[in-house]
Amino acid sequence: MNKFEKKNFNIYLIGMFVSLLGTQIQFIAMPLFILDRTGSGSLTGIFTFLLLFPFIAVTPFAGVIGDRMNRKNIMVNMDLARGAMVLFLAVYAFTVEIPLMLVFVFQGIISVMDGFFSSSTSAMRADLVQPKDYALTNSRVTAMRSIAGLIGPAVGGMIYAFGGIEVVFLINALTFIISGFAEMFIKYDPDHIKDKEKMTVKKFASDIKEGFVFIMKQKGLKNLLFFASFSNFVLSPIMFVLFPFLFKEIIGFSGAKFGFVQAGFTAGALIGSIIFSKFLINKSGKTNMTLGLGLQMLVGFAIGYFVLPATVNMIGGTTWLYFGLIVATMVSWGIFNIWLNIPLQTNIQKMAPSYIRSRVFSVLELIFQGAVPIGSVIYGFMLDSIEPHKILLGAMGIGLVLALIFLFTSPKETFDPELPEEVNTSNIKEKELA
């Protein structure tokens, strides 16, 4: 990156990090607030639904908007709008006891805004730097996400404990507003806007369809889509459904210990992104994805071995040795997961031209995120009748088969697509676009 690109991207990165940190703080505090107020697990589940479903549902529409409008303006406006809404909640909560229904309604609206923000910012990132720098910028974004994921929950829990939900709302509102003002300084040329035809319902549907058709016609992109969606369906529920039940209910970890297990994966992602940017950035996509996939599968089977009843009895599930082994394997899993995900994201950016990139990312987001709740429900039902260690080993077996099929049947462009044309960032600098 040249000096101008580096400065521009750093503003983007700082804005994204500040916004994400506030979101993480509120994300951990809200379930605690709901439980303290009502003691209801079902209401906590409803909040989680409102956190995810509107985001997933709006992504196809957000993709069309992101390809037809200035992505920077969407980014700034969504941050400021979310900041204003959360600030209203903060003022309300400081004044009187805030109704849960109001919080739920606002969360649904904010989740819709999250969808528009995510679609535009994901597509915009590749417009700020040269294609040769995609992997580097993706590794830095991953590192920032990991840092926010480590700091946010700890800070959020403390702020809620000492200041209450009103202080949590206030801090999250300020992070959104600060982020929005910082993003105004990004220099961005929205030359991705090719279609200026008047938007109608028919045109909107046609634009959404165009995103799907584009992916299906690109064999390399299609292979990435199918592999990532099936992997999300099979492997992601392990983190969200299987591990909490396995480590807390079966093995007997305390809440604090399980928190460290979860943090281990996030810490691994941070370490993995640093290692990737230092040592793997110039390796081929095929090398990195094979390495990441292979080592991730190996660690997955290692965890499967560690949670076998015989292994737990031999080492002792409540011992510090066993706890250390589990945390170490989770850190390793986080490291190797990133070695796969960074080249995967980079290749999608390379294969999707800017004029349609927002729609492509929206389709991918819809399928990736949509696969997780479906898989989670299935895992939940399986846990009622099948021992968790058997589910884990079975899932890893399916994951291994998927990995082998992906690695040995995908075309070359899946792993190492050709670099697109360079972005004329000097033109952006000369025009000093707002």
In single-letter form, the type of residue at position 303 comes to I
CA distance 38 to 35: 5
Per residue in 71-91, pLDDT (tens digit) is 999 999 999 999 999 999 999
At residue 336, the pLDDT reads: 96
Q: CA dist 152 to 17, 23, 117, 171, Å?
A: 11, 8, 20, 11
Q: Which amino acid is at 162?
A: F
343-383 per-position pLDDT tens digit:
999 999 999 998 899 999 888 888 877 788 788 888 888 98
Average pLDDT, the chain: 89
List domains and CATH numbers for the chain. Answer: 3-415 (1.20.1250.20)
Give dist(CA 170, CA 262) in Å, integer: 27
118 residue type, one letter? S
Query: Which two three-digit tokens encode residue 12?
Result: 């983007």
According to the model, what pLDDT value does residue 434 have? 43
CA pair distance 185, 303, nearest whole angstrom: 46
pLDDT for position 294: 95
First to last CA, the chain: 21
Cα Rg, the chain, nearest whole Å: 22
Confidence at residue 7, expressed as pLDDT on a 0 to 100 scale: 92
Would you state the pLDDT for residue 405? 94
Calculate the dihedral angle through the C-alpha atoms of 406, 410, 412, 413, rounding to the nearest 10 degrees. Answer: -100
Q: What is the pTM of this model?
A: 0.88
Q: Is 408's pLDDT higher than 90?
A: yes
Mean pLDDT of 18-35: 88
Contact in structure between 266 and 150 (CB atoms under 8 Å) = yes
- Single-letter amino acid code for the residue at 244: P
